[in-house]
Amino acid sequence: MRRRGFLASTTALPLLGCAPPRHEIAGGFTGINVARGHALRDTAAWPAPGAVRRTRVLIAGGGVAGLAAARALRLRGIDDFALLELENEAGGNSRGGSVQGVACPLGAHYLPVPGDDAREVQDLLEEFGLRRREAGRWVYDERHLCHSPQERLFFRGAWQEGLLPVQDVGRETLAQYRRFAARVEQLRREAKFSIPVSKAPKVQVHWSLDAMTFVAWLNQEGFGDPQLRWYLDYCCRDDYGAGIASVSAWAGIHYFASRHGFSAPDEPAAGERDGLLTWPEGNAWLTRRLAVPLGERLRAGCTVLRIAEGRHGVELDAYHHASRTVQRWQAERCIVALPAFIAARVVQNPPPFLARAAARLRYAPWLVANLHLDAPLQDRPGAAPAWDNVIYRESGEGGGLGYVDARHQALDPRPAPTVLTYYQALGDTPGGRRLLLERPWEAWRDAILAALSVPHPDLPARTTRIDITRYGHAMAMPVPGILKEISPMSSSSGRLMLSNQEQSAATPATPRLRFAHSDWSGYSIFEEAFTRGHAAGMSPAVA
């Protein structure tokens, strides 16, 4: 279960002392229109709305949740709807691109084989032909399962299989690995941890873990081994965009307990390791297939400015960037598939639960760099090249620690140009969002080349182009207390208005608005976003 949302890092990228490349490397910032994203915040006045458009249901936001909501409406036979998306392509963090003709992800790039709690995702994979029943059991199309070797770690000057440091570690380290594995299994027996999180009833174990940081819990439990802590920090950055000092203990335990547990070396696994579905273009393989059936109902390049809920309907204003006009929409219902902090800005008189969540949630900035190589890299000793390649840094210095290879799934064994996709989390880097916006492309280029030259000295010479995508608010970080803040409450509390049927799906709602985004899970992965969008689209109130 690696890089469920994005790959990980340990600290900010080193940007001083990085020599520029010896030859010209093309590239720049791409993938996200930063000015368009900031227009809602920075524009003092918008044009007056033009002609009024009408539809039955509006969907604000075309990320995974919005696309899932649109699919759910279609499954119900509701075709009279419109989906408004800021960027020119739907998909949110799960969009893809190409560099020099090689397909690559611009964000999330894999999906773990979903468990039975994520039946909505299982159904989607059946629809797309990725999952089918054979001889009474479910099997997945092996062409889309991550090929072996899946992952490796550059540790102490050599590559090792797997990401848990094991090469020449001491007995005390191995003992802590085993004790941590046992503790995770004990917590799994005491409480259910599930993906999506709404399928697990919350009990005192969850609330206790949610109340403290993961590092505080590790201190309390006596888990101080440097190798164990590096790995746990990596895993938290993997899923949440920030390390063990920032995320809650619930998030740290959930990473393992919601799936296969934690497997110590030479110990029986707590459960079978999950397979991974991945594609050269990443999860864009999924979102593009979700978007195709929408046709003209998908309105890209639109900034949602205002959502007003009335007694008899919903009114929405959106700025259409191509025509530079404001379009007014009227509908019976609206599914708000926007991040909570955006939803709180555009929804007039936001309900208390939305205002409270928007004030509490924190977001991790991310950088995704796609490096085009004109030939395969030379390799250091140890494990063979893998899909997921991570670098351990003894000193804790450095930035993004790994990359995935776009050609790993290719069946052609002949050497060819490829793209390495490198990820950098800035969730707990001071001023990370400002650095991401203001630091020039050349500085990021030099830092990335320096980081990846540690295991690959020939990488700068092989690199012809680097395209960098910046996400200022890529994913919600599950900081302490957030699980309690976003959990369903009765309507008498004034926080969430949920019917008994919707309690299980945890769809925050008002009479004419349904809120669907991974923010309402407290962290960002495909399964959470898809399930919440599906639940909103299937809600009986959206008719």
User: Using CA atoms, how far apart are residues 244 and 238, in angstroms rounded to an integer?
Assistant: 11
- The answer to whether the beta carbons of residues 115 and 4 sit under 8 Å apart is no
416 pLDDT above the threshold of 80: yes
117 pLDDT above the threshold of 90: yes
pLDDT at 519 (0 to 100): 95
User: Using CA atoms, how far apart are residues 504 and 425, in angstroms rounded to an integer?
Assistant: 32
Instruction: Kindly indicate the confidence band of residue 538, based on its pLDDT and cuts at 50, 70 and 90.
Output: very high
Over residues 48-54, mean pLDDT: 92
pLDDT tens figures, 173-210:
999 999 999 999 999 999 999 999 999 888 999 999 99
User: Using CA atoms, how far apart are residues 202 and 61, in angstroms rounded to an integer?
Assistant: 29
pLDDT at 18 (0 to 100): 54
User: Using CA atoms, how far apart are residues 364 and 482, in angstroms rounded to an integer?
Assistant: 14
pLDDT tens figures, 142-156:
999 999 999 999 999
3-state secondary structure of 460: helix
pLDDT tens figures, 349-369:
999 999 999 999 999 999 999
Residues 6+ apart with CB under 8 A from 273: 260, 263
344 pLDDT above the threshold of 60: yes
495 pLDDT above the threshold of 90: no
Instruction: Kindly indicate the confidence band of residue 162, based on its pLDDT and cuts at 50, 70 and 90.
Output: very high
pLDDT at 271 (0 to 100): 45
Mean pLDDT in the chain?
89
Can you state the percent helix, strand and coil of the chain, rounding each to 5?
Answer: 35, 25, 45
Over residues 334-356, mean pLDDT: 95
Name the pairing type of β-strands 362-373 and 418-425. antiparallel
Over residues 515-522, mean pLDDT: 95
pLDDT tens figures, 392-410:
976 544 457 689 999 999 8
Which domains, and CATH codes, for the chain? 35-40+47-94+283-351+497-538 (3.50.50.60)
- Whole-model pTM? 0.92
